[in-house]
Amino acid sequence: MALARTAYVDGRWVDQAQHFEVRDPFDRAVIAEVTDSSDELVDAAVDAAARAFPAWRTRPGPERGKLLGQLAQRMLADERRLAELCTRENGKPTAEAAAEVRYAASFLTWFAGEAERIYGETIPATHPGQRLTVVREPVGPCALITPWNFPYAMLTRKLGAALAAGCTLVAKPAEQTPLGALALAELCHEVGIPAGVVNVVPSADGARTGSRLIGAPQIRKVSFTGSTAVGRLILRSCADDIKRVSLELGGNAPFVVFGDADLEAALRGAMVAKFRNTGQSCVAANRFILEAPIADAFTQALVAAVGKLKVGRGSDDGVDVGPVIDDASVAKLGKLVGDAIARGARLLHGAPPAGTSHVVAPIVLAGVTPDMAIWREEIFGPVVTLRTAADEADAIAQANDTDAGLVAYFYTRDGARQARVAEALEAGMIGINEGLVSTAQAPFGGVKHSGLGREGSRHGIEDYTNLKYMATRG
């Protein structure tokens, strides 16, 4: 199968005069020249989604679900090719890329089932002869805007719910990784999802194309995954037209290890929570908070484990940590680590990134303080920051001392403490002796500045539907 490089609009592959380069993050080699969708093409994609909506919404849910199920199967059958493509454009190790393909397909499978279960309700009436009923209707054509860190999964988590609900869509993938979304569009085409139901408009300029898409009057809902700064802009842009908005934004996850924790389990969880996708994950452990009695033992074990990680090209055997995505990421990591060291943090492993290589060897910093930018901002790279906490109350206070509230992790063997701390933590998702919370069956999303709405689970479909209530007499 050839690599799809052009926009996908109204069931056709559309090339245009302007193109942009997609580069391998490992060595910056150009891997594709992709159509840079013009504003007119974005408008055409929105028109196509609007034209396709009436037929798609009235197609029976089980039929929509059947197509989603076939799409999941096609993804899984193509796991190897899709994983290799993901490693090339995103840089992640091939095993992780394959895991992402399976994770992405799991949302399609999940929502294939949910398409049969978009239930309404009947309500006991207030007057004799009256019937009160509620149905769920699709909101309409949706704009789906996705980031580069999970090019397949961030899209299928939205696309699966949208299509199951009966919505049509225009997707705008991140400029660094448009190829995954285009590969998915090919599979949509192959399984027979009708023209106009799914459209993909790659673009070199996310702000320009994103704004055009969001501003289109036919778009009734925007679902965005990305940074909090852009999420804020999108929420404002949707205000005039009162568009539905779902926002999956940045995190700043605490990872607390209490004195009574199983340290081996905590270490295993820490390595996954920190280093999956080279630390470039919204649910990455950003701030390690260690209760004093185990702080030294856990730190030593962590530094030893980090020392064994193999860093390099994602397609090479045995590589655990791939390159970071681009020059801006290297510069940001250099700045955060340099600032922390200048303010007194101790370097226990690695060195501040120097030069322009995207391959950043893991770094461990101890003695980090709350005034450091590396503690307050989302790091988005392979850097561990460590602080100690005097006791449970101190650990909770430190964990909650952030504007973000996506996920929080903690390790303890004490059942009562598990309940107490889980209730006290300000986050949409909590990992208790668990370093990986993401799964299609559970509601993914945050509180505070980490977003609005939930994706995955039975709740994920709610954001793509409106309730319609009917009062009938006679």
Which residues neighbour 466 within 8 Å (Cβ) at sequence distance 6 or greater? 136, 137, 138, 139
- 130-138 and 465-473 strand pairing: antiparallel
Binding mask 369-408 for ligand NAD (x = CB under 6 A): ---------x---------------------------x--
**Please, which residue, 205 or 317, has the CB nearer to ligand NAD?**
205
Binding mask 297-326 for ligand NAD (x = CB under 6 A): ------------------------------
User: What's the CA gap between 353 and 361, in Å, rounded?
Assistant: 8
User: What's the CA gap between 248 and 145, in Å, rounded?
Assistant: 10
**Please, which residue, 211 or 400, has the CB nearer to ligand NAD?**
211
Among 226, 254, 322, 323, binds ligand NAD (CB under 6 A): 226
Among 82, 145, 165, 306, binds ligand NAD (CB under 6 A): 145
Write out the two tokens for 306: 């980090």
Is residue 248 annotated as a catalytic residue, yes or no? Answer: yes
Q: Determine which one of 86, 142, 188, 282 is catalytic.
A: 282
User: What's the CA gap between 169 and 233, in Å, rounded?
Assistant: 21
111 binds ligand NAD (CB under 6 A): no
175 binds ligand NAD (CB under 6 A): yes
Q: How far is the CB of 9 from ligand NAD (least distance, A)?
A: 17
Which residue type does 25 have?
A: P
**Please, which residue, 382 or 446, has the CB nearer to ligand NAD?**
446
**Please, which residue, 366 or 408, has the CB nearer to ligand NAD?**
408
User: What's the CA gap between 254 and 291, in Å, rounded?
Assistant: 13
User: By CB under 6 A, which span of 95-103, 118-126, 225-233, 345-353 interacts with ligand NAD?
Assistant: 225-233
Q: Which residue is nearest to ligand NAD (CB)?
A: 206
Q: How far is the CB of 210 from ligand NAD (least distance, A)?
A: 2
Distance of CA 62 to the CA centre of its chain: 27
3-state secondary structure of 409: strand
3-state secondary structure of 195: coil
User: What's the CA gap between 214 and 142, in Å, rounded?
Assistant: 9
Among 42, 230, 330, 427, binds ligand NAD (CB under 6 A): 230
Binding mask 247-276 for ligand NAD (x = CB under 6 A): -xxxx-------------------------
Q: How far is the CB of 214 from ligand NAD (least distance, A)?
A: 6
Q: How far is the CB of 54 from ligand NAD (least distance, A)?
A: 27
278 binds ligand NAD (CB under 6 A): no
Is residue 21 annotated as a catalytic residue, yes or no? Answer: no
Among 451, 453, 456, 460, binds ligand NAD (CB under 6 A): 451
User: By CB under 6 A, which span of 127-135, 244-252, 368-376, 429-437 interacts with ligand NAD?
Assistant: 244-252
Distances (CA, A) of 34 to 17, 141, 149, 179, 365: 10, 25, 19, 8, 40
Dihedral sign, CA of 35, 36, 40, 43? positive
| Residue located via tokens 């052009």 | 6
Q: How far is the CB of 244 from ligand NAD (least distance, A)?
A: 16
Distance of CA 185 to the CA centre of its chain: 19
282 binds ligand NAD (CB under 6 A): yes
Q: Which residues pair with 321 in a beta bridge?
A: 311
Write out the two tokens for 353: 């990134």
Full DSSP string of 115-150: TT----EEE--SSTTEEEEEEEEE--SEEEE--SSS
CB-based contact 233:203 (threshold 8 Å): no
155 binds ligand NAD (CB under 6 A): no
CB-based contact 164:61 (threshold 8 Å): yes
- Chain residues in the site for ligand NAD (CB under 6 A): 145-149, 154, 172, 174-175, 206-207, 210-211, 225-227, 230, 233-234, 248-251, 282, 378, 406, 446, 451
Give catalytic residues, as residue numbers: 248, 282
